[in-house]
A and B are shown apart, each in its own frame.
Chain A
Amino acid sequence: MALRSDNFHRTVGIELAELHEDGATMRLALTDRHKNAAGVVHGGVAFTLADSALGYGIHEALGKRCTTAEMQINFLRPVAGDVLEARSRVLKAGRRLVVARAEVHCGDSQVAEVLSTFAILD
């Protein structure tokens, strides 16, 4: 999976920070364009970052192409800071489905928790 070919990552400004044995860490430098009408970071930003960390992390851990089937996000607190990081972890990799979670952090505080189901494509 080539990160450079991911157009939406470029649009949002997402970068791969680190690959782990069981997942990946993606990073995003926050700017004004990530804000919603209320002046805080749009929920879609944290979600997109987590989705990317999950997709790359699962690909790294399994070496297979996957697609998001289902994803649940709980927003824990508003984002206050300059950098957002999402760390994914594979919980269970089956033959057809993968269950993985991701934590989204801004500085020292966790801002969102994500639980997802991915479908293995091949």
Chain B
Amino acid sequence: MESMRHPPRVSEQELAEIRRTFMTSPFNRLVGIEFGEYHADGVTLVLPVSEHHQNGAGVVHGGVMLTLADAALGFGIARSVGRRCTTAELKINYLRPVTQGVLKARSLVIRAGRKLVVARAEVRCEGKHVAEVLSTFAVLD
């Protein structure tokens, strides 16, 4: 397992707690976000696309991809930093429209400082890169 070679700073118990709080987040549940896997520098979260994610044009609403990416970033950062963080700034580029399939957001921590964390996330759908996200998180404690 990748995370065994690069163990996170947090304990297994803390990791389980982080995972539980992220996966029981009301808005994440409303959107339908599921856990995917852990990586050395982030996590992958999964979202099977359904009709309730569509916008008026019949494609997946941009807010869905952003919400999935934000959750993957917050989860990945909490796991690697081990402290509470909040999104300060986030930029998303939409690369392709999505109509169906399974969305996957993979977060990667680029630099974790004492006060700020910079991380990116890739959103893919059936292997295709559909959105790219760059973010700054503020460390709360």
Contact = CB atoms under 8 A, between A and B. Distances in A.
**Do A and B share a complex?**
yes
Nearest to A41: B27
A33 B56 contact: no
Contacts of B11: none
Interface in A21-79: 32-38, 41-45, 47-49, 51-52, 55, 65, 67-75, 78
5 contacts: A9-B56, A42-B27, A44-B27, A48-B61, A78-B86
Interface in B83-122: 84, 86-94, 97
A74 B29 CA distance: 24
A42 B28 contact: yes
Interface residues of B, number: 38
A6 B61 CA distance: 9
Closest 5 CB pairs of A and B: A48-B63, A44-B67, A42-B27, A8-B61, A37-B21
A20 interface: no
A44 B93 contact: no
Contact of A74 (B64, B89, B94): B89
B66 A47 contact: yes
A1 interface: yes
A59 to B, nearest CB: 9
A70 B64 CA distance: 14
Nearest to A14: B63
A67 B56 contact: no
Contacts of B27: 33-36, 41-42, 44-45
Contacts of B29: 33
A7 B53 contact: yes
B137 to A, nearest CB: 10
A37 B70 contact: no
A38 B57 CA distance: 33
A41 B52 CA distance: 20
Contacts of A1: 56-57
Q: Which of A3, A43, A49, A78 has the most CB of B within 10 A?
A: A43
B127 interface: no
Interface string B63-79: 11011001100100000
Given A44-B67, A68-B94, A6 B86 contact: no
B139 to A, nearest CB: 14
B28 A6 contact: no
B3 interface: no
A97 interface: no
A52 B63 contact: yes
